[in-house]
Structure 1
Amino acid sequence: MTRFRLLALLPLAALLSGCDAVVLNPSGDIALQQRDLVVISTVLMLLIIIPVMSLIVLFAWRYRASNTAARYEPDWAHSTQLELVIWSAPLLIIICLGAITWMGTHLLDPFRPLGRVAENRPIATEATPLEVEVVALDWKWLFIYPEQGIATVNELAAPVDRPISFRITASSVMNSFYVPALAGQVYAMPGMETKLQAVINKAGTYGGFSANYSGAGFSGMRFAFHGLSNGDFDKWIARAKADAGKLDRPTYLALERPSENVPVRRYGTVEAGLFKAIRNMCVEPGKMCMSEMMAIDARGGLGLEGLKNVLALQYDKNARRGTPPDGVRTYVAGICTPDDTDGSASATPLRPRSATPILGLGLPRPDATPFRFDSSARTSRAATNS
């Protein structure tokens, strides 16, 4: 019976032999270094796990009840030599793991510019990274190539052995950008920008997906990443440019609406400053950008009258997630245009265009007359109530 069971498992083993453990066999230098960290850490931990598991089996067999030849020492209590082995070996392994973790954390920092394209292959001084702006939408991926002036949905490409600089954000909820063959996952968050520096070293088509659950269409957030030669990458860009589609703000707002299993789309032109508006959450016409709001807050804010500085929201991106209707939704109205603001961390507060204080969008200046408490009126009201 046992033989028949083993024979039945052979087809399953054959199926498993076709699996491609991409995490352990990546095609990018960053992913390769991360693979090495996993392997080294596993080997260091096995230096303790294997001897301990082996000794458990050895002691159970050697000191079994039926083995009367084994030494019997019921009064044994302490061994200095054994204590040294028990504590020193794990301590040395923890020190090694700590040193490897510290070096890997700094050398493989996603924000750190690459120093090489592969082992023993430093980056050429004249090489420039390929800039790619990544936006996690519901439930698809938008890739903008600012240098080439194109954009794609659920399709990404890059030349082999050329550094890639990803700028990553999201439209609504937190997501995670992950191409296992290229590098580790990096989170995409609305109103924020994360970065990833990577390089692909082998031509081919690799899978990319979201590694963070983000709603009903999460399982369809997959895209193809193409590692191409320089010539093939130029052809890929040319095919995208040949597309008549234009990714402007109205088109983006329509694309931003939740949709599942979206096919590949290409846009031959992209509106300037679109990614900055997405990151600052002000793609909608008239909406105040986060950078503008922070600049106003740095100068003292708009006061209580600023609470009235709102406009109706044309489209509620959260309505598909069960948000209860509660009347007309609003957002803070813009005072400047999005191009007037800069969402970079080093941006300085904007100076007013004139000496007149900022009052909001058409709002009257608040009354500066101080409030005075009228004690006689309070006394008269108390007498009337009584």
Structure 2
Amino acid sequence: MKLSKAYKRLAAVLMFGMLLLITGCTENIVVLNPKGPIAEQQRDLMITSTLLCFIVIIPVLIMTAVIVWRYRDREGRKAKYTPRWEHSTKLEIIWWGIPIIVILVLAVVTVKATYALEPSKPLASEQEPITVQVTSLNWKWLFQYPEQGIATVNELKIPEDVPIRFEITADSPMNSFWIPQLGGQMYAMSGMAMTLYLQADEQGEYWGSGANFTGTHFGDMYFDVEATSREEFDEWVKGIKDESPPLSLEGYKQLAEPATSEVQTFSSFPEGLFEMTVTKYGASHNHGLSWEDAQKFELEETKAGQNK
């Protein structure tokens, strides 16, 4: 059997793609170009897992090509025909033993990384974390800074080397909050307050988006992320407080209507707005909150309920 030119070209493309991955051409692949401690650990886990899988995949691909070529049908071949051959203990140990060892190593690595990368686990830092409350709306993102008293739409600015404690919910269909160069996804769900710690190790502009299909304008649900110095961050907050209008409850209801939005900034927002959103559809669940934070959250829920 002769190999067609198309088959040879396909094999060459596949091998070239594998070589690109192995040699680390990753600058344009954002998940492999981390800018924070969480994304860096996740990148290392992906690379480790891929290399472990290559221990099985690469020999199999090479052996497949060799076997297809060596045992192809051709004129004048004199290979010995042994139709009754059916077992080799050595080969059985090799092709069962190696994958089992790889799976065990991969399991240990994954379990350790899963516990180490628990999203609600605070990051070790000398800096106090900044809280940002994230609300997924159709089709936009609302960011509230309760400590600074400001809010933004589709714009997230954070200081470098400072842990950011994201509290994430949704006032729309379930979505997924994602900043690839800082860390993995966290689901935004109505009636839930999810906790996610991320940090930017260097100044720069990053891309954030929704990573769950939510309808017509799903593709427009992205936002700008900028990591700056602490001084620039404080100046940005001051500028919003001095120049932007406040966000009223009526204004929030208009934001919650299904529509895309440009970047907006607000000098203030109604007290307990995030808690009101979480409890809008009934009982809430808080993932990753400490006992003290949970008590505070319940108090805010009670206040929000009284104000309805």
Contact 1:276 1:343 in 2 (8 A): no
Partner residue, 1:336: none
Q: Deviations over 1:142-196 (max 9, x none)?
A: 0000000000000001111111100000002101101111110111001111111
Q: For 1:44, which of 52, 76, 81 is the aligned residue?
A: 52
Q: Tell me the residue number matched to 2:232.
A: 232
| 1:86 counterpart residue number | 95
| 1:115-163 per-position Cα deviation (integer Å, ceiling 9, x unaligned) | 3xxxxxxx22xx2111000000111000000000000000001111111
Rounded to whole Å, the distance in 1 between the matches of 2:50 and 2:150 is 43
Which secondary structure does the structure 1 equivalent of 2:34 belong to? coil
Partner of 2:183: 183
Give deviations 1:306-355, integer Å, cap 9, x for gaps: xxxxxxxxxxxxxxxxxxxxxxxxxxxxxxxxxxxx9769959x99xxxx
CA deviation string 1:288-318 (max 9, x = no partner): x646xx9xxxxxxxxxxxxxxxxxxxxxxxx
Q: 2:119 aligns with which of 110, 125, 130?
A: 110
TM-score, normalising length: structure 1? 0.66
In 2, Cα distance between the equivalents of 1:18 and 1:186?
24
What is the identity, as a one-letter code, of the residue corresponding to 2:272?
A: G
Residues 133 and 168 in structure 2, CA contact (< 8 A), matched pair in contact too: yes
Pairwise CA RMSD of aligned residues?
Answer: 2.6
The answer to whether residue 21 in structure 2 is matched with residue 22 in structure 1 is no
Question: Equivalent residue of 1:281, what SS?
Answer: coil
Tell me, what secondary structure is at the counterpart of 1:93? helix
Quote the residue 1:266 is aligned against. 265
- 1:165 to 2:173 alignment: no
Q: Give the gaps of 5 or more residues in structure 1.
A: 3-16, 116-122, 283-288, 295-341, 352-386
Distance (Å, rounded) in 2 between the aligned partners of 1:221 and 1:132 = 18
Q: Secondary structure at the match of 1:195?
A: strand
Residue aligning to 2:278: 279
Q: Spell out the pairing of 1:133-172 with structure 2 (5 A cutoff).
A: 133-172=133-172
Cα pair 2:26 2:32 within 8 Å, conserved: no
Asked if structure 1 preserves the Cα contact closer than 8 Å seen for 2:245 and 2:267, the reply is yes
Runs of 5+ consecutive residues of structure 2 not aligned to the other structure: 6-24, 286-292, 303-308
Distance 1:18 1:48 in 2: 23
| Alpha-carbon distance change, 37 to 148 in structure 1, aligned in 2, over 3 angstroms | same
- 1:1-386 equivalences in 2 (<5 Å): 20-66=28-74, 68-115=77-124, 123-124=125-126, 127-260=127-260, 262-281=261-280, 290=283
Instruction: Return closer, same or farther for 1:346/1:95 CA change in 2, 3 Å cut-off.
Output: farther
Structure 2 length-normalised TM: 0.81
Query: Which consecutive segments of 4 or more residues in structure 1 shift more than 6 A?
Result: none
Residue 19 of structure 1, CA deviation: 7.3
* Residue 28 (structure 1) shift: 1.3
Tell whether the 8 Å contact from 1:243 to 1:266 is kept in structure 2 after alignment: no
In 2, the alpha carbon distance for the partners of 1:158 and 1:224 equals 11
Larger relative helix fraction = 2
**How many equivalent residue pairs?**
270
